[in-house]
A and B are shown apart, each in its own frame.
Chain A
Amino acid sequence: MIWSIAWKNVWRSKLRSLVVMTAVTLGLFAGIFSSALMNGMMEQRIKAAISNEISSIQLHKPKYLENKEIQFCINNADSVVANIEKNPEVKAVSKRIKLTGMAKTARTGTGIIIYGIDPEKEKNVTAIYSKICDSTSLAEKRHITDPSVIHNYLKDSCGTYFENARSNPIVIGQKLAKKLKVRIRSKIVISLQRVDGTPTEGAFRVIGIYKTNNTMFDEINIFVRSKDLENLTGLDSTKAHEIAILLNDNEKCKEVEKTLQSAYPLLNVMTWQEIQPDLGMMTEYMNVMLYVFIIIILLALGFGIVNTMLMVVLERIKELGMLMAVGMNRSRVFKMIMLETIFLSICGAILGMIISSIVIDYVADKGIDLTKWVGGLEAIGYEAVLYPSINLTFYFGVAILVVLTGILASIYPAIKALRLNPAEAVNCYIVKLLYC
């Protein structure tokens, strides 16, 4: 019965309750929506990093990780790859030769990381092949609509991912292309160390220019066919420095890592969290941050609720006095005030969560294009089009926090109510009460 009284009490002063609920609704909507934006941004970054840059799991010789020298390679790479491919969780595997070197043109030069890959296999693991220029946006920028022109235009400007390649093709990032002032079909000289330790140089022709959302990545990572790199360095074709694995489900990283680690005790097996610890940490930080964010909003709303409930208690002094007189004990009075407060907060919160989920759903379809507003997002690896995303657990967390807020916000008003002396309350010595 106390529940139903509390619920009915909420609606005694409709306007006031609605104002408070609206505040909670808007506050939570703002909180949840911006959380979804931040979270979406992070998820996009991680997804992009996994699919373009690091894949789910990588294997190396432990020594290679300490010192990226050409000789620290996995010896029987092909059989390892074949073995890993048998694991049902594994979607694709690619072995890579991975070396540091210099890329030079007639005018300038810069340090790079060069990957020797099998393009067909690498395609299944990383998505660089799909980043050979964003055809539509580039054409749009230049106001080209004719499909055949677009095709030619793109072929000319950005090339392909090792398609119809002649000798020594190389795929480089757009940022590097700009830095070296090269374009498709330009020649780049790569200098690096041979297996025997002697320096060597090789000329490559740019066949493709890719652009991920991470300019820093684009600036240093270049791709060539492994056999070309083997020829240049004298490395045996059974060897590789890195084996990159893409899983069907990234949540299974830890499990697969364990299996692989026990299968290859001499190799170092790392998940994407370990390969790029900053990304791994980000997920955890983001979670904490989102909650902190919501807690701050709820705290602010909580004070508004406290204020409203104090008013409620003050207005109902006589009634509360009567209730206590006829036998409602302290814990029941407390419960009634607390339930009222919780109902007040929950109603707004539910509405806020519903609106948030609808808006997030809608926006997640279309994305929010921030290009106009924020420059430089891409320089640090974030996409300029945001897709807000938040999981169900978060909504649960928020719901629990709202109830907590309701409980906390009710304590002070409820204590005020408890302190009432029924005799004074019934006879309403209000002036005295206000000063007590």
Chain B
Amino acid sequence: MSIIETKKLKKIYDDSHVPVKAVDGIDITFEKGEFAAIVGPSGSGKTTFLNMLGGLDNPTEGEIIIDGINIWDMKSRKITDFRMNNIGFVFQAYNLIPVLTAKENVEFIMHLQGKSKAERHKRTRELLENVGLGDRMDSRPNKLSGGQQQRVAVARALASKPKFILADEPTANLDSKSTATLLDIMERLNEEENITFIFSTHDARVVKKARRVITLEDGVVISDEVK
């Protein structure tokens, strides 16, 4: 069974004069262990699509089924917990809590999940070492470079042991070296630990690394290639 399945997924913004069909009927499935890029011109609906997959925004029509559960059937109160326990997020910016250290940022999610202190500490250390930041655990985000911050964000996203990780343009604010490092880490996690990544990007170098590339235009999938 695929971990994500969308059925006739639509999102129409009609709060302006002309309704915008941001996502206009997407039927797609993702399997465990995928490393998929979503590409397309600006305004093609990448962010909107990812937001709906992640349970951040409700579709106008259609269904999203994650591990057999239609997530938009859930009450809004439950969906927050569902996100916390099943989906990891990496955003383009504002990813970390600025007043907390790298370590605390990663711990925070596990704290919300109610994990024990010992488990939190152990896993936090493992995760941060895994993304190459074992020595920066006590730094606040403003003392870390953009690339390092995104690596903390990946560690944070993994902390809750999610089913998959969604990343909306995770490298958009990074220089090429940081981009390469971040992608290497993501790739390694994907290969070694079978972590599912679905990310959107404009960056050709990122697209090159992806093993599946889904191209959107005007809210519809115009191509879906597996390398």
Q: List chain A positions with a Cβ less than 8 A from chain B.
A: 1, 5, 8-9, 12, 318-319, 321-330, 332, 421-424, 426-427, 432
Q: How far is the CA of A325 from the CA of B52 in the complex (A)?
A: 12
A320 to chain B, nearest CB (A): 10
Asked if A328 and B112 make an inter-chain contact with CB atoms under 8 angstroms apart, the answer reads yes
Asked if B94 and A327 make an inter-chain contact with CB atoms under 8 angstroms apart, the answer reads no
**B72 contacts A by Cβ under 8 Å:** no
**B77 contacts A by Cβ under 8 Å:** yes
Known: A12-B99, A325-B89, A432-B15. A332 touches B94 (CB 8 A): no
Binds A, one of B79-87, B173-181, B195-203: B79-87
**B74 contacts A by Cβ under 8 Å:** no
Residues of chain B within 8 A (CB-CB) of A322 are 89, 91, 94-95
Q: List chain B positions with a Cβ less than 8 A from chain A.
A: 15, 47, 51, 54, 56-57, 77, 80-81, 83-85, 89, 91, 93-95, 97-100, 104, 107-109, 111-113, 156-157, 160
Q: Is the interface of B mostly helix, strand, loop or mixed?
A: helix
Known: A326-B156, A327-B109. A422 touches B97 (CB 8 A): no
- With CB as the reference atom, state the residue of chain A lying closest to B56: A423
A224 to chain B, nearest CB (A): 79
Name A319's contact: one of B98, B107, B111, B157 (CB within 8 Å).
B98
- With CB as the reference atom, state the residue of chain B lying closest to A327: B84
Asked if A325 and B99 make an inter-chain contact with CB atoms under 8 angstroms apart, the answer reads no
Asked if A326 and B57 make an inter-chain contact with CB atoms under 8 angstroms apart, the answer reads no
Asked if A12 and B98 make an inter-chain contact with CB atoms under 8 angstroms apart, the answer reads yes
Asked if A327 and B99 make an inter-chain contact with CB atoms under 8 angstroms apart, the answer reads no
Knowing that A1-B104, A12-B99, A326-B109 touch, tell me 20 more A-B residue pairs with CB under 8 angstroms.
A1-B108, A12-B98, A318-B94, A319-B94, A323-B97, A325-B56, A325-B83, A325-B91, A326-B156, A327-B83, A327-B84, A327-B85, A327-B109, A327-B113, A328-B112, A329-B80, A330-B77, A330-B80, A423-B51, A423-B57
Q: How far is the CA of A266 from the CA of B77 in the complex (A)?
A: 72
Tell me which of A319, A327, A423, A427 has the highest count of chain B C-beta atoms within 10 A of its own C-beta: A327
A15 to chain B, nearest CB (A): 16
- With CB as the reference atom, state the residue of chain B lying closest to A421: B57
Tell me which of B97, B104, B109, B156 has the highest count of chain A C-beta atoms within 10 A of its own C-beta: B97
Known: A324-B80, A327-B81, A329-B77. A426 touches B94 (CB 8 A): yes
Residues of chain A within 8 A (CB-CB) of B91 are 322, 325, 426
Name B84's contact: one of A1, A9, A318, A326 (CB within 8 Å).
A326
Asked if A8 and B100 make an inter-chain contact with CB atoms under 8 angstroms apart, the answer reads yes
Q: How far is the CA of A424 from the CA of B56 in the complex (A)?
A: 9
Asked if B111 and A1 make an inter-chain contact with CB atoms under 8 angstroms apart, the answer reads yes
- With CB as the reference atom, state the residue of chain A lying closest to B111: A1
B115 to chain A, nearest CB (A): 12
Asked if B99 and A328 make an inter-chain contact with CB atoms under 8 angstroms apart, the answer reads no
Asked if A326 and B83 make an inter-chain contact with CB atoms under 8 angstroms apart, the answer reads yes
Residues of chain B within 8 A (CB-CB) of A328 are 80, 112
Asked if B80 and A327 make an inter-chain contact with CB atoms under 8 angstroms apart, the answer reads yes
Asked if B99 and A8 make an inter-chain contact with CB atoms under 8 angstroms apart, the answer reads yes
Q: How far is the CA of A325 from the CA of B98 in the complex (A)?
A: 16
B142 to chain A, nearest CB (A): 11
Asked if A5 and B57 make an inter-chain contact with CB atoms under 8 angstroms apart, the answer reads no
Q: How far is the CA of A6 from the CA of B157 in the complex (A)?
A: 22
Q: How far is the CA of A388 from the CA of B84 in the complex (A)?
A: 56
User: Could you list 30 examples of A-B contacts with CB < 8 Å?
Assistant: A1-B107, A1-B111, A5-B97, A5-B100, A8-B99, A9-B99, A12-B99, A318-B93, A318-B94, A319-B98, A321-B94, A322-B91, A322-B94, A324-B80, A325-B91, A326-B83, A326-B84, A326-B109, A326-B156, A327-B83, A327-B85, A329-B77, A329-B80, A329-B81, A330-B77, A423-B56, A423-B57, A426-B94, A427-B51, A432-B15
Q: How far is the CA of A336 from the CA of B91 in the complex (A)?
A: 22
- With CB as the reference atom, state the residue of chain A lying closest to B76: A330
- With CB as the reference atom, state the residue of chain A lying closest to B94: A318
Residues of chain B within 8 A (CB-CB) of A423 are 51, 56-57
Q: How far is the CA of A402 from the CA of B56 in the complex (A)?
A: 37
Residues of chain A within 8 A (CB-CB) of B98 are 12, 319
Q: How far is the CA of A432 from the CA of B13 in the complex (A)?
A: 12
- With CB as the reference atom, state the residue of chain B lying closest to A323: B97
A367 to chain B, nearest CB (A): 48
Residues of chain A within 8 A (CB-CB) of B95 are 322
Residues of chain B within 8 A (CB-CB) of A1 are 104, 107-108, 111
Residues of chain A within 8 A (CB-CB) of B97 are 5, 319, 323
A16 to chain B, nearest CB (A): 15
B66 to chain A, nearest CB (A): 15
- With CB as the reference atom, state the residue of chain A lying closest to B16: A432
A426 to chain B, nearest CB (A): 6
Q: How far is the CA of A203 from the CA of B109 in the complex (A)?
A: 95
A122 to chain B, nearest CB (A): 70
Residues of chain B within 8 A (CB-CB) of A327 are 80-81, 83-85, 109, 112-113, 160
A111 to chain B, nearest CB (A): 76
A328 to chain B, nearest CB (A): 6
Q: How far is the CA of A171 from the CA of B166 in the complex (A)?
A: 96
